[in-house]
């Protein structure tokens, strides 16, 4: 506001200066024309002399008008740029305030408030997009990686559902909104070290960057099916319930140094690394269509294996 008033005041002062200058210049030109025509050249009648002077003044006034209009336009454009920059700063501050309040809600004690915070964060991502997508994803992934009490399974499920809705390519999913459709498919997903208590079913996800879930504990079933992933890292994780990986169109799946205890396992992927992976008392282990418990003696050729305790120790694929 102060800058705008200063600009207008400067413009008014310039107009006054230009007007005074034009008046002085008109008087000088008029006297010059009068002396030139009456004393040095053939005398001209007063009416003709007045016409000449007025013509000179009109021409000079037109030039001055064009200059003033040009200066006015420059000042107005500068004011518009300042207003636009100020409006953008105000909008960014407004979004930052909303983001801060949503984070506060996510950090509250009440589960219902935490869930409201998740929805507030996803609304910011859906409404403003751009760099706020990755920021919201980082905040939600940070929540999943943090130490959480067992009573927050509902919050965990809400976050996982929010990620699924914005990375799956299934359009008719529960009235998914256009701004949600694959909105986070280009975001980085770092979930290393998270402790998941709920089941997670990821069907037809699209992620252009790696999905990292190394060092995680899965108490529920993890399913990744028919997905398009750049790669999937799940190194040194512990699966307590089950894992299903099948029909995925993606790069490498790295599950080395992981542990499966009492888990149902179904893996069908051409590029999977299971080096130093232990299967302890698993109910059913099926990899690439082969059931290890029954068929590994003759037909199973993808992995070298030897028994460890009550399960199998997978050393890795043969060259």
| Per-residue pLDDT at 316 | 41
For residue 168, being part of any structural domain is answered with no
Query: Rounded to whole angstroms, how far apart are CA atoms 216 and 205?
Result: 20
Of the residues 51, 73, 90, the one at which a domain ends: 90
Of the residues 41, 74, 90, the one at which a domain ends: 90
For residue 62, being part of any structural domain is answered with yes
Highest mean predicted confidence (pLDDT) among 1-5, 9-13, 32-36, 253-257:
253-257
Cβ atoms of 114 and 152 closer than 8 Å: yes
pLDDT band for 84, please (50, 70, 90 cuts). confident
pLDDT(14) > 50: yes
Say yes or no: 311 and 199 in one domain: yes
Q: Which has more pLDDT, 235 or 296?
A: 235
pLDDT(271) > 70: yes
| Per-residue pLDDT at 252 | 81
Cα(first)–Cα(last) distance of the chain, in Å?
A: 73
Sorted by sequence, the CB contacts under 8 Å of residue 104 that are 6+ apart come out as 117
pLDDT(202) > 80: yes
Query: Rounded to whole angstroms, how far apart are CA atoms 273 and 263?
Result: 18
Say yes or no: 83 and 203 in one domain: no
| Per-residue pLDDT at 44 | 52
pLDDT(45) > 80: no
For residue 84, being part of any structural domain is answered with yes
Query: Rounded to whole angstroms, how far apart are CA atoms 108 and 160?
Result: 19
Query: Rounded to whole angstroms, how far apart are CA atoms 193 and 191?
Result: 6
Number of domains the chain is built from: 2
For residue 70, being part of any structural domain is answered with yes
**231-261 confidence digits (pLDDT tens):** 899 999 999 888 888 888 877 888 888 888 8
Of the residues 55, 90, 125, the one at which a domain ends: 90
**140-184 confidence digits (pLDDT tens):** 999 999 999 888 999 999 999 999 989 988 876 666 677 778 899
For residue 277, being part of any structural domain is answered with yes
Cβ atoms of 124 and 132 closer than 8 Å: yes
For residue 156, being part of any structural domain is answered with no
Q: Is 185 exposed, middle or buried (0-12, 13-18, 19+ CB in 10 A)?
A: middle
| Per-residue pLDDT at 142 | 95
Among residues 93, 36, 28, the alpha carbon closest in space to that of 60 is found at 28
Q: Which has more pLDDT, 242 or 17?
A: 242
For residue 298, being part of any structural domain is answered with yes
Q: Name the residue range of residue 9's domain.
A: 2-90
pLDDT band for 16, please (50, 70, 90 cuts). low
For residue 117, being part of any structural domain is answered with no
Say yes or no: 206 and 312 in one domain: yes
CA angle 248, 253, 259 (to 5 degrees): 120
How many other CB atoms are there within 10 angstroms of residue 222's CB atom?
Answer: 21
């Amino acid at each position: 506001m102060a800058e705008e008033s200063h600009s207008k005041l400067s413009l008014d002062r310039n107009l006054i200066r230009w007007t005074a200058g034009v008046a002085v210049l008109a008087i000088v030109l008029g006297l010059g024309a009068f002396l030139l025509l009456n004393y040095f050249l053939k005398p001209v009648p007063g009416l003709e002399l007045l016409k000449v002077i007025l013509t000179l003044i009109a021409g000079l006034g037109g030039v001055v008008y064009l200059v003033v209009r040009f200066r006015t336009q420059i000042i107005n454009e500068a004011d518009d740029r300042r207003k636009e920059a100020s409006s953008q700063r105000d909008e960014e501050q407004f979004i930052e305030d909303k983001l801060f309040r949503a984070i506060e809600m996510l950090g509250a004690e009440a589960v219902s408030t935490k869930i409201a915070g998740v929805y507030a964060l996803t609304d910011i991502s859906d409404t403003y997009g751009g760099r706020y997508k990755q920021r919201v994803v980082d905040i939600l992934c940070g929540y999943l990686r943090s130490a959480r009490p067992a009573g927050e399974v509902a919050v965990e499920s809400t976050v996982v559902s929010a990620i699924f809705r914005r990375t799956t390519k299934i359009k008719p999913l529960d009235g998914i909104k256009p701004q949600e459709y694959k909105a986070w498919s280009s975001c980085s997903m770092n979930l290393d070290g998270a402790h998941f208590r709920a089941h997670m079913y990821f069907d037809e996800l699209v992620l252009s960057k790696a999905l990292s879930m190394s060092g995680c504990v899965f108490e529920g079933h993890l399913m990744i099916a028919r997905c398009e992933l750049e790669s999937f890292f799940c190194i040194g994780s512990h699966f307590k319930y089950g894992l299903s990986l099948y029909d995925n169109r993606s790069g490498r799946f790295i599950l080395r140094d992981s542990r499966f205890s009492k888990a149902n396992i179904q893996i069908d992927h051409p590029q999977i690394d299971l080096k130093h992976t232990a299967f302890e008392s698993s109910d059913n282990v099926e990899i690439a269509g082969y059931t290890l418990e029954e068929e590994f003696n003759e037909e199973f050729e993808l992995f070298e294996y030897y028994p460890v305790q009550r399960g199998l120790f997978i050393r890795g694929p043969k060259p």
